[in-house]
Structure 1
Amino acid sequence: MKKFTLAALLCASFLAFGAAAFADQPALPTVQQPVLLTPFGQSQDANAVKLMTKKYQVDYEMAVFAKDVDWTKYKTLFVVLGGSGKGLGAAGLDIPSELARCTELIAEAKKNNAYVVALHIGGPDRRGPNSAPFLTFAGDANFMIVREDGNADGYFTNLSTEKNVPMYTIQKTGDLRKIMPEMLK
């Protein structure tokens, strides 16, 4: 009987903890389409988001080098954060020129009332020196989605609090399958 009681208490504790963790999540925004999708830092993580947008038949365009955008065509900007030396090199870019593109794109999106969603879905692999300069753009977004293991040091939690940007945490990149349909109704 004692084993059963202990097991029941442990299960109840896990359920309560899980519910509390879920309750701390902000409500997902409902974003308007069409969506412009672009990587900030040229990592391949944007391709995972592209696959989700395709799967859920989102009206989107992926522009790896988005610049001088006609904002009358888009309501939402998805920026996928994470630097890749290989991606930057293949694109013929360096970090300063990519940062300039990203800064300009965010400013223009905001000026044109586009809703900006920053996604950091690469986990710890996208927290290295090539990624660091691009992570700050999450603080310029209207909403951020962050993979939990990419926030192990609390960087995004602190940025979210400091910049008053709601942050939704996912456990794994595949969790986008659950939240994309909610956001893009």
Structure 2
Amino acid sequence: MAKRFVIYLLAVLILVTAVMSFQQSRRVKSLLPHLPAPIAREKALVTPAGQGPEGLIAGKICDVLNISNDFMYWAEPGDLEGHNTLILALGFSKQGLYSMHKTEEEEMERVKTLVMAANKKDIPVILLHLGGQDRRGAANDSLARMIAPYLDYIIVTQDGEGDKFFTGLATKYQKPITVVSGVKTANVPLNSAFR
């Protein structure tokens, strides 16, 4: 009787360990400190997705990392010519949209069309969300949901990931994601995408 109990206990322990290992392996596939191998090639096209200041920050990070890039506020599919990677910096700004004389709907359509064109040309798409929770909002989340299936890599700041929104998208669509402590630490995972 005692021998049977020990065997039963061992079987349960092995089963629990196997289930936990499986869950851990699924999580590790998407949540990474950086990419294990490059997915992107220079020259990158950097554009804001929402016309917020994050686009300029993403361009500056590329400059600091010596990643050859062009920054365009209103990049369209034709602008992908001569570029091998698309970097989107997510962050809607009413002021930014106003200065471009565009609406949220027009911006969402532009980004969706751009991402679809990049996908059609096998150009990797990297999404950066460099703002905190206050830079999220319905428009940002809606756009992220819309383009998530076509992304190749997601980099998000910890402050903007309190609700695990981006991790959920990455898990759902099996996309690699890196959560960084802040804007200054986004350079390591972005660099890993190219080198």
Alignment match of 1:114 (pick from 123, 133, 148): 123
Q: Find the counterpart in structure 2 of residue 25 from structure 1.
A: 32
* Residues 48/140 of structure 1: CA separation in 2 closer, same or farther (3 Å cut): same
Query: Identity of paired residues, percent?
Result: 25
Unaligned regions of 5+ residues in structure 1, if any?
1-21
In the other structure, the counterpart of 1:81 is: 90
Stretches (4+) displaced over 4 A: none
Instruction: State TM-score, norm by structure 2.
Output: 0.77
Alpha carbons of 1:124 and 1:155: their partners in 2 closer, same or farther (altered >3 Å)?
same
Partner of 2:110: 101
CA contact (8 A) 1:83 1:132 kept: no
How many Å separate the matches in 1 of 2:191 and 2:33?
A: 16
Partner of 1:168: 178
Q: What per-residue deviation string (whole Å, max 9, x for no partner) do you get for residues 9-58 of structure 1?
A: xxxxxxxxxxxxx9952641512111010111111011111111111221
| Equivalent residue letter for 1:79 | L
Which amino acid in the other structure matches residue 134 of structure 1? L
Name the counterpart of 1:10. Answer: none
How has the CA–CA distance of structure 1 residues 178 and 27 changed in structure 2, closer, same or farther, with 3 Å as cutoff?
A: closer
Q: Which runs of 5+ in 2 are unaligned?
A: 1-27
Count of matched residue positions in the alignment of Structure 1 and Structure 2: 165
Q: What amino acid maps onto 2:32 in structure 1?
A: Q
Compared CA separation, residues 80 and 139, structure 1 to 2 (3 A) = farther
Q: Which of 149, 154, 161 is the matching residue for 1:144?
A: 154
Q: Which structure has the larger Rg over C-alpha atoms? A: 2
Deviates more, 1:37-46 or 1:169-178: 169-178
Provide TM-score, normalisation by structure 1.
0.81
RMSD: 2.1
Per the alignment, do residues 108 and 167 of structure 1 end up closer, same or farther by CA in structure 2, a change over 3 Å counting? same
Q: Distance in 2 between matches of 1:181 and 1:154?
A: 23
